[in-house]
Amino acid sequence: MSKKTANLLCILVGIIWGGGFIATAAALETFSPFQMLIVRFGGAAILAWIPMLLHKDPMTKKTVKTGIISGIFLYVAFAFQTFGVDQTEPGMNAFLTSVNVVIVPYLAWAVWKQKPDSIIVLASLVCVIGIGCLSLSTGSIGFRPGDLLSLACSFFFAAQIVSLGKSEDLSIWNINAVQLTTAAVLSLPFGLFSPWPAHISMTCIVSLVYTVFLSTFLCYLLQTTAQKYTSCAAASILMGTESLWANVFSFLILHQVPSVLMIAGGLLIFLAILLVEGRSWIEQHLPILAPRSSRTVKEKA
């Protein structure tokens, strides 16, 4: 798989997650947030074990370790997000959660020695400013104690992305099954013993199918696949476009009228995509933004 194809998979993940905002909101009218985590990760884990058993790839210690670490970060991120969303403004929660786009390049540098270049740094900043515009347009932003929970959430989402940064030689099927199973098991204590709904509407069932199969099982399989061929930083930026797609789907499905701020935010996120996808053109025509190694090669040539 080429790096460009891997980046396109990350954009597809962002698109699916964007639609997932609407699906999750519909399901939360029936289930509590932590019950949703059990259904989401439990259902996705069951789905993930089917292709894993069919492919019969060897389960190595490194695979198990990577999957468990990724699954722990994944669950903790969602748990912090669940706690935080009740204690802060929706716009601030969405914005602080998206800060992982800026955290990932530097966390990958610290953990894997993957130093971010100027283009990635610029793209991450442009992307998070764009997400900030979208967040401002959908909810007021004001700092509250719960915002620290949302910020912690963004760190663990970043850690989950970085944890897959050295999985090139591992089975995507095994990693996905282990990480989703880990998150499902960790979801049990908070949600299992609260009262469960006696009736589930068809709208809720459709929303759960979307959330479990597409937003969780498929998306984390695509993410795990893509990160074998692209950098952690690029993956975080392209998957971070979910805020843009959430607003697009809100316009198409819920007929939400876009504001000037929403349009500006969408254009900035689109610019971030162009920066990541157009790296070769940028390095050729704007050498000041090219990585030092690339400039050195050109200078010697």
Hey, what are 280's tokens? 């070769």
Hey, what are 166's tokens? 């050295």
Report residue 300's pLDDT band, with 50, 70 and 90 as the boundaries: very low
Neighbours of 252 (CB within 10 A): 10
Report the pLDDT averaged over residues 224-250.
90
Could you give the CA distance from residue 55 to residue 41 in angstroms, rounded to a whole number?
21
pLDDT digits over 39-50, tens only?
999 999 999 999
Mean pLDDT of the chain: 85
Give the number of C-alpha atoms closer than 13 A to the C-alpha of residue 99, restricted to the C-beta side.
18
Q: Where are the beta strands (DSSP E) in the chain?
A: none
pLDDT digits over 128-140, tens only?
898 888 777 655 5
Percent of the chain with pLDDT over 70: 85
Hey, what are 53's tokens? 């058993």
Could you give the CA distance from residue 109 to residue 120 in angstroms, rounded to a whole number?
12
Helix, strand, coil in percent for the chain, rounding step 5: 80, 0, 20
Which position has the higher pLDDT, 200 or 85? 200
Contact partners, residue 58, CB within 8 Å, separation at least 6: 171
Give the number of residues written for the chain: 301
Percent of the chain with pLDDT over 90: 47
C-alpha pair distances (Å), 246 with each of 1, 79, 113, 256, 267: 28, 21, 33, 11, 14
Residue 301 scores a pLDDT above 60: no
Which position has the higher pLDDT, 117 or 299? 117
Is residue 239 within 8 A of residue 223, CB to CB? The reply is: yes
Phi, psi of 170 (to 5 degrees): -105, 155
- pTM score, two decimals? 0.86
pLDDT at 294: 45
